[in-house]
Amino acid sequence: METIEKIDVAAMKADIKTMVELQKFYKNQRKTVKKDCSRKFGDMPDISPSEATYKHQTNREDLRVMYAAYGLARGKSFSEIENRYSEDNHPLSENPFPLRIERIQKKYTIKVKVEVEEI
């Protein structure tokens, strides 16, 4: 038996979904000045619009890198991930994005045991 390293795409996709839900929450919070206090049990508490704006921006940047890492894990190129740029001078191929993408790929790398058939 051999072990190979592979990226856990399902876990990455689940984390992207939770980040998208957070993004929706932050977007709603930054738009509201008067807070609605009719929340359900377990909902996130309200935050100030300025804090929501900051968190929305940082989460947006993190989501862009997560989508890029997810696309690369599925075998796509940068121009296929974000098609408004050409492959030659794509902003995701410039600093600091490759390092951030590599960190995310290392985070989701798992070792899988594979049986090798001998011929």
Taking the model in full, what pTM does it have? Answer: 0.78
pLDDT bin (cut points 50, 70, 90) of residue 20 is very high
Average pLDDT of the chain is 85
Residues paired with 111 in a beta bridge = 5
Annotated domain spans of the chain: 2-33+47-114
Q: How far apart are CA 67 and CA 74, in angstroms?
A: 11
pLDDT bin (cut points 50, 70, 90) of residue 33 is low
With a cut of 90, say whether residue 61 has pLDDT above it: yes
With a cut of 60, say whether residue 38 has pLDDT above it: no
Tokens linked to 52: 């929501």
pLDDT bin (cut points 50, 70, 90) of residue 2 is confident
Matching residue, tokens 């993408």: 101
pLDDT bin (cut points 50, 70, 90) of residue 14 is very high
